[in-house]
């Protein structure tokens, strides 16, 4: 009798301690992204997207479970820094999960550490196809450049006779160029030329002049989103390529939502393929954009990096809920392989269990003026559930 009483007391005490947070279980997320250096404006979009998802879904967490972000600045494309930060987060801070990363070289540098320490790594941006093959502990909730550039190349080959490509000279740029060249050739189109420009601070003018001299029907551009996109649009406009009959096309990075107003008239009519537009009229997106403006300001617009943060956080919440706050690395990866959300702001998404890469819609969009503001208007769905084409084409 005495024993039963004390057990009941202990149980009640336990409940009370959980309720007051004294026994709270904290899940630590090592969140590495870019707040400075090249396109350092992108990191805050990712962080805000992740925090907004957590805020909107906080109530779904198991009782007594908290999520803590340990935020770190990798200073742009800087693999040494990213590796050092990941090492500290794993060894010193004992994070349960790693997340974030705008830039491919940084994701590649972190991958072996995720494997060695068995820390699941949720990628919220970096888009070079090969990344997910570098560690079984990686799941990607963002995109691959092949996902946008391959359907872009197929579509462009039907519409334009000769397509020129201009890409930043690093992983995602090479992927985009390869995808467009392959799709163009497979579709019977002609590649007018290809050029790679330095990733950091390129002067686009001489490259644009070279493109203009080649007189292609379309120029497909990949550069990392952010200020670099605006610099490309400016050079394209200043050199009069549009006037000389060259259509600007690309993956959505080149008309990234948050920079449209800075791009001005030069962006009007640019055609892109991407998985996310802030202007999309899906109810899930309208709710996302409204929450964003409510919390961050009426003039603030989310972009695809923000949605990478939002959906990445949705996947993290899912594994936390399923495991009731205890993160087992291998169980986490099994759960991530089966993650789906029919209601992402971008449309229905899932993780391909074979590759741990996202499966998502790809839309053809055009920059138009909507209610006085420039917007990426979705005009056609090119694929409803696109898997990374690079992995599909290179299946053994
Ligand atoms: C990448 O490094 O993988 C990357 C960076 C910026 C983008 C897209 C991809 O806009």
The answer to whether 25 touches 64, Cβ cutoff 8 Å, is: yes
Residue 4 lies in a domain: no
The answer to whether 312 touches 336, Cβ cutoff 8 Å, is: no
Q: Tell me the CA–centroid distance for residue 37 and ligand 1, in Å.
A: 14
User: Is the CB of 257 inside a 6 Å radius of any atom of ligand 1?
Assistant: no
Residue 6 lies in a domain: no
Residue nearest (by alpha carbon) to ligand 1 atom 8: 224
Please state, as a whole number, how many other Cβ atoms lie within 10 Å of the Cβ of residue 331.
Answer: 14
Render pLDDT for 294-338 as a digit per residue (tens, 0 to 9). Answer: 999 999 999 999 999 999 999 999 999 999 999 999 999 999 999
Domain check: are 65 and 96 in the same one?
yes
Q: Tell me the CA–centroid distance for residue 143 and ligand 1, in Å.
A: 9
Domain check: are 139 and 154 in the same one?
no
Domain check: are 322 and 337 in the same one?
yes
User: Is the CB of 178 inside a 6 Å radius of any atom of ligand 1?
Assistant: no
pLDDT mean across residues, the chain: 95
Give 232's Cβ-side CA count (13 Å radius): 31
Phi, psi for residue 236 in degrees, rounded to 5: -60, -45
At residue 105 the predicted structure's pLDDT band, cuts being 50, 70 and 90, is: very high
- The whole-number pLDDT of residue 1 equals 43
- The token pair at 135 is 């560690």
Domain check: are 191 and 98 in the same one?
no
Q: H/E element holding 106? A: helix 104-117
- The whole-number pLDDT of residue 364 equals 98
Domain check: are 156 and 252 in the same one?
yes
Domain check: are 230 and 187 in the same one?
yes
Domain check: are 38 and 133 in the same one?
yes
Q: How far apart are CA 40 and CA 226, in angstroms?
A: 8
Residue 3 lies in a domain: no
Q: How far apart are CA 31 and CA 373, in angstroms?
A: 33
Render pLDDT for 188-244 as a digit per residue (tens, 0 to 9). Answer: 999 999 999 999 989 999 999 999 999 999 999 999 999 999 999 999 999 999 999
Q: Tell me the CA–centroid distance for residue 172 and ligand 1, in Å.
A: 6
Is the pTM higher than 0.85? The answer reads yes
Domain check: are 239 and 385 in the same one?
yes
Query: Which CATH number is 232's domain given?
Result: 3.40.50.2300
Domain check: are 171 and 252 in the same one?
yes
Render pLDDT for 121-133 as a digit per residue (tens, 0 to 9). Answer: 999 999 999 999 9
Residue nearest (by alpha carbon) to ligand 1 atom 7: 224
Q: Tell me the CA–centroid distance for residue 102 and ligand 1, in Å.
A: 6
What is the extent of the structural domain holding 292? 11-143+282-353
* DSSP conformation letters of 41-67: THHHHHHHHHHHHHHHHGGGSPTTEEE
Domain check: are 291 and 261 in the same one?
no
Pocket probe for ligand 1: among 32, 33, 77, 104, the residue whose CB has the most ligand atoms within 8 Å is 104
Structural domain count of the chain: 2
**pLDDT higher at 24 or 373:** 373
For helices 304-322 and 42-57, what crossing angle results, to 10°? 40
CA 59 to chain CA centroid, nearest Å: 26
Residue 294 lies in a domain: yes
Q: Tell me the CA–centroid distance for residue 127 and ligand 1, in Å.
A: 6
Domain check: are 348 and 382 in the same one?
no
Q: Tell me the CA–centroid distance for residue 226 and ligand 1, in Å.
A: 10
**pLDDT higher at 217 or 7:** 217
User: Is the CB of 78 inside a 6 Å radius of any atom of ligand 1?
Assistant: no
């Amino acid at each position: 009798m005495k024993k039963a009483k004390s057990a009941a007391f202990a149980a009640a005490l336990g409940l009370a301690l959980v309720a007051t947070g004294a026994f709270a279980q904290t899940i630590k997320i090592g969140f590495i992204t870019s707040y400075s250096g090249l396109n350092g404006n992108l990191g805050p979009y990712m962080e805000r997207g992740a925090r907004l998802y957590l805020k909107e879904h906080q109530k779904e967490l198991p009782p007594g479970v908290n999520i803590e972000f340990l935020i770190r600045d990798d200073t742009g494309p800087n693999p040494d820094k990213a590796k050092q930060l990941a090492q500290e987060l794993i060894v010193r801070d004992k994070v349960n999960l790693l997340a974030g990363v705008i830039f491919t070289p940084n994701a590649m540098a972190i991958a072996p550490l995720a494997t060695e320490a068995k820390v699941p790594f949720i990628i919220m941006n970096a888009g070079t196809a090969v990344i997910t093959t570098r560690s079984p502990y990686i799941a990607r909730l963002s995109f691959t450049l092949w996902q946008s550039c391959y359907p872009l190349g197929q579509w462009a080959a039907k519409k334009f006779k000769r397509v020129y490509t201009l890409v930043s000279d690093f992983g995602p740029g090479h992927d985009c160029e390869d995808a467009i060249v392959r799709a163009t050739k497979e579709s019977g189109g002609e590649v007018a030329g290809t050029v790679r420009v330095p990733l950091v601070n390129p002067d686009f003018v001489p490259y644009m002049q070279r493109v203009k001299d080649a007189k292609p029907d379309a120029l497909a551009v990949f550069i990392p989103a952010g200020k670099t996109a605006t610099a490309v649009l400016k050079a394209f406009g200043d050199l009069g390529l549009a006037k000389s009959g060259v259509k600007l096309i690309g993956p959505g990075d080149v008309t990234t939502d948050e920079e449209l107003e800075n791009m001005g008239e030069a962006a009007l009519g640019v055609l892109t393929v991407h998985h996310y537009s802030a202007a999309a009229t899906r109810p899930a997106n309208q709710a996302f954009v409204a929450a964003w403006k409510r919390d961050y300001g009426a003039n603030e617009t989310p972009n695809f990096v923000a949605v990478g943060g939002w959906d990445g956080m949705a996947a993290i919440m899912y594994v936390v809920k399923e495991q009731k706050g205890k993160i087992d690395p291998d169980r986490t990866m099994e759960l991530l392989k089966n993650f789906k959300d029919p209601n992402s702001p971008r449309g229905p998404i899932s993780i391909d269990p074979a590759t741990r890469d996202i499966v998502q819609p790809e839309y053809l969009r055009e920059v138009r003026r909507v209610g006085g503001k420039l917007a990426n208007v979705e005009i056609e769905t090119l694929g409803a559930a696109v898997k990374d084409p690079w992995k599909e084409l290179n299946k053994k």
